[in-house]
Structure 1
Amino acid sequence: MVKNTLQLCLLWEPLSSLVDRLGAFASTALLLVISWSLSVIFWPTERPNAPVAGYRSMFEPSFLLKARFIRNANKIIGDAYKTMRDRPFVVRRYDLDFVVLPVKYLEEIRLISYKKLSSRGAQVGNLVPDWNGLDGVVNSNLHVEAVRRHLNPDLYKYVDYGYNELAHGWADEVPRTDDWSLTNIEEVMRRLMARITAKIFMGDTASRDPSWINISVGFSVDLFESSFGIKMFPPWTYPFIVWLIPARYRVRRQLAATRQMVDKLLQRLNDAQARRRQGETIDEEDTLLNWMVENGKPWENTVPQMAARLCVLAMASIHTTAATLANVVYELCAHPEWIPVLQEEIDTIAQDLGKPDDNLASEGSTSKQWCERLEKLDSFIMESQRHNPVMILNPQRLATEPIMLSGGVYIPAGTRLAFANHEHHMDPRTHPDPAVFDPLRSYRKRHAAADQRHLHLADQTHPSALSFGYGNQACAGRHFAVAVMKLIMARMLYEFDFRFPEGQGMPENRYVDENVYKDLGARVEMKRRARG
């Protein structure tokens, strides 16, 4: 290791003078080529015994394949799935390789201990936590346990809390117009989700604080940019590269601001605990932060650790949920014949339970009653997720020790495993006529037989529905996310009509590695529904 470092230092001085004379793009390309060449020479890695997908020829350098993966992951994965869909194959990302497994391995992977194959390790690893101020999240599962052990058992109590919080933000975040109004619907959904999750995670102090709403919305974007920028280079370059990533400085500022807020909240909680011990009756908000403070270890309850954990929780709950909601609206605009179908379902429920407005309790109804009856909307969300994934490699696992799978597939320690979920969802062996957008696909399955009524739901995992992962390491917050999505869309469709602006169709998918997002310029038009 020392010898390798000395050799790199000898190269740096002439290299830096050359970089000064090149433009930004050429400099970045040069650094990538040199760093990856040195990485191959000095840090060879153990490889899985599966073919690498995507090479154009035997002469193509690996760094070019990795560069193409950034914007063309869907094509590389799609082509490999068509030719090797029943066999494992490897796709190459700048920072690591993925072993993409056929879906026949789902059950085998599910049964392997999380200590050997970690979903959290894969997810957190994507954030480059040690270099983004999130190192404590790697060593603690406290925030996930808070969702599993505190939120999920009383799910609809917290959904009610969150939904009722929209009474303080709906008019501020949602356009209120009788004429068609051009709207960035994904930004609207982000801010609605930020308010709801802030109420559940931290209470009124956060959910009604504009600075926290801005932090929680911006953090996911900046963290993604920072992580992606860092991961374009080999891990041994991180100590140098991180100082050149502008988004990383924004992430640091957001974490610092969050620490200030968390410090005040923790002081208030500690004061309340002391007063309770003295026999006082204290009226406190029931939040995930409270639960984590009461159940966390001393090192987990420090201000920096708790601030990082709350930012990661906000990122996980806001980004993918808002993107999914925006995709639902885009699909409604692309298939407007389904808008009256869903509005009819919602109007019928509203006749029994009251309007899905600011406060469900004022109408004598609960979020649970609404969610259980929104069957067609649930099915629409599932079909939208199938056509519009937020990731095209999911679920993911990180191997923490060498593993031999059936069929002789060898997985070295440190390897990332994944499944080609989108290709699987669009495979005719999984779903008949997969290219057809069929919003009642899951609805019909539920009503085909009495024993299917509680199956094929958007918050359930299944070998044919991998949007939230699979098995006991699937997304812990999926039940909360789906319930909130259904309630937000119910209110949206109860109050508004939607359409695309003239000349715009379904926004195109864009790719950054395995991550999927819609064209950032996409907009919809919305206006109040005309009622007789």
Structure 2
Amino acid sequence: MSPYTIKHLEGISAIAFRSPLILSAAGLLLVASFIRFLLSRPKKLDLPIVEVPGSSDQREALLQGTAQYPDSPFIIKSEWPIVILPVSVINEVKSLPESKVSFTLETKQLLAYEHTGVGDDAHEVLRAIKIDLTRNLASTLDDMQEEIKVYGKVARLVALLSGRVFVGRLLSRDEEWIEATVSFSLYVMRAVHAIKAYPSCVRSIVAPFLPELRKLNEFRARAAELLRPILEQQLAKEKNEKIRRDDVAGGQGIMISWMLKHTPEHQRASALVLVKNQMSLSFASIDTTASAIVAAIYDLATYPEYIQPLKDEIQQVMDEDGCDIDADGIMRFKKAIIPKLWKLDSFMKECQRHTPSLISTANRITTSAITLSTGHTLPKGTRFGFPAWAIHRSPNTPVFNPAKNPSSKLVTEFDGLRFYNYRKIPGNENKQQFVTASPESLNFGQGTHACPGRFFATSN
């Protein structure tokens, strides 16, 4: 047991033993939690377990398992075991409904939703991203193009950029809002690790005493206070101007309007509901985008030979397509320019390949038994995913096959133009882009729950 866990258990024990009532309640809760834990355990699977002796690096286990069992499932042994499926069955499961396999349940368990409040399926957020944000990317570009100082933290930069669209210029520049959203994003994973240091059967007991979880609630409450005036202003505007929900146009902070458009009527006036969705949105945006930017900065510093070709491409495309000039004489990208930056797109994708957010993706938990074409049955409660780390290094994936992409370097090397060279081959022009979500490109997931914000993240 870790010193962290021992320290908090001692503190909890001291509080409990001061009151027989608290001690009795804790005992009953512990028994109930243990029974729930026993009933919720998934059935054991008759599948091979892959682990690399002497190594805790699951990337090695993924590569070994994929090579050893290319056409059948296997289990990666870890704190939270996962069944790795062969890519041949991805089309069978990628769009199965939540009644069969659940992305929401996977995310909730991954982020300890019961205690952190992060990870639920916020339908209004997803609809606002898929329907409104993606469709209105062109109108958001100007809001994100501004020369600003990076305060030493890329997360702050991302919060400033995305916040302009999410909550508008004024609030996105408010130091308290920046502090709340950036700190919330940082503390989510701290809270997850803190609560997961304890067995699941006692988490409900220890959760209220964990400082990381208390911090999350503090940041969420402060954000609600800051967001409430904007919510009230927006609701009053809709009422006074009689704006129909489908008539909301683009603009700064328009994400609030888009989310309200998809929010049930009885929840529209709740600042807590809105801030819960906003904080989840900020966490997803800040965490993933900041990670991608940091990886790109490190890789540019490591491979400076790519700097000039990328600058030349940007200049060439701007010379060909022109750019918008605002009232202050500042040049601004047009949305049409971004898809033409093939080299930049390729460099970003190679950075992501070497430093991915997850090494297995399209992860789900079965909510009922499913049978695969391989003949294997996954019982209810089985966690599964696909070996993205291995697929993005496999010669079975055309872009990594020297015969099909002869201009690229070895798959173990960094090649910032790997995907650019592949797309230059006739017939591949629209394949392997940074935003691509396919069985050969899994960084953004797959199927029904492929990352809906990947287009906005790319614009960032």
Which category of TM-score, normalised to the shorter sequence, fits these structures?
0.7 to 0.9
2-side partners of 1:120 and 1:426: how far apart? 28
- Aligned residue among 338, 343, 366 for 2:311: 343
AA aligned to 1:394 is T
> In 2, distance between residues paired with 1:143 and 1:39?
31
1:194 aligns with 2:159: yes
Structure 1 gap segments, 5+ residues each: 1-11, 21-35, 57-67, 175-183, 485-532
Q: Give SS of 2:371's match.
A: strand
Matched, 1:446 2:446: no
> Structure 2 CA distance, aligned partners of 1:258 and 1:40?
34
Q: Could you report, residue by residue, the CA deviation over 1:360-392 in whole angstroms, capped at 9, with x for unpaired residues?
A: 995675431331321110111111111111111
Change (3 A) 1:452 1:214: same
By how many angstroms is 1:352 displaced? 4.6
- Opposite residue 445 of structure 1, the aligned amino acid is Y
Matched, 1:463 2:439: yes
User: Which amino acid is the alignment partner of residue 349 of structure 1?
Assistant: V
Q: Which runs of structure 2 are paired with 1:405-424 in the superposition (5 Å)?
A: 405-424=372-391
Output aligned runs, 1:60-459, within 5 Å: 72-94=57-79, 96-134=80-118, 138=120, 140-163=122-145, 166-167=146-147, 170=148, 172-173=149-150, 184=152, 187=153, 189-277=154-242, 285=252, 287-301=254-268, 302-352=270-320, 362=329, 366-430=333-397, 431-432=400-401, 433-449=410-426, 451-459=427-435
Q: In 1, distance between residues paired with 2:328 and 2:84?
A: 47
- Partner deviation per Cα, 1:278-337 (whole Å, 9 max, x = no partner): 99xx99856111122132103543222211111110111111111111111211222221
Q: Name the CA distance, whole Å, in 2 between partners of 1:99 and 1:299.
A: 40
* Whole-Å separation in 1 of the counterparts to 2:243 and 2:290: 44
Structure 1: how far apart are the matches of 2:218 and 2:294?
Answer: 28
Give the 3-state SS of the residue equivalent to 1:396 in structure 2.
strand
Distance 1:469 1:44, change over 3 A: closer
CA distance in 1, matches of 2:99, 2:334: 36
Percentage identity across aligned positions? 24
- Letter of the structure 2 residue corresponding to residue 113 of structure 1: P
> Matches of 1:256 and 1:482 in 2, distance apart?
30
Query: Is the Cα contact below 8 Å between 1:49 and 1:409 reproduced in 2?
Result: no
Q: Secondary structure at the match of 1:417?
A: strand
* CA deviation map 1:175-198 (0-9, x unaligned): xxxxxxxxx5xx2x3222111211
Structure 2 unaligned regions, length at least 5: 1-8, 18-32, 402-409
Change (3 A) 1:383 1:79: same
CA change 1:43–1:383 in 2 (3 A) is closer
1:53 maps to which residue? Answer: 50
Aligned to 1:24: none
**d(CA) in 2 for partners of 1:428, 1:365:** 40
Partner AA of 2:417 in structure 1: L
**TM-score under structure 1 length normalisation:** 0.71
**SS of 2:50 mapped into structure 1:** coil
Shift of 1:150: 0.7
8 A Cα contact 2:364 2:385, kept in partner:
yes
Residue 472 in structure 1 maps to residue 448 in structure 2: yes
1:55 Cα deviation after fit:
7.9
In angstroms, what is the RMSD of aligned CA positions?
3.3
Q: Secondary structure of the equivalent of 2:82?
A: strand
Q: Quick one: distance in 2 between partners of 1:80 and 1:308? A: 39
Number of aligned residue pairs: give it: 419
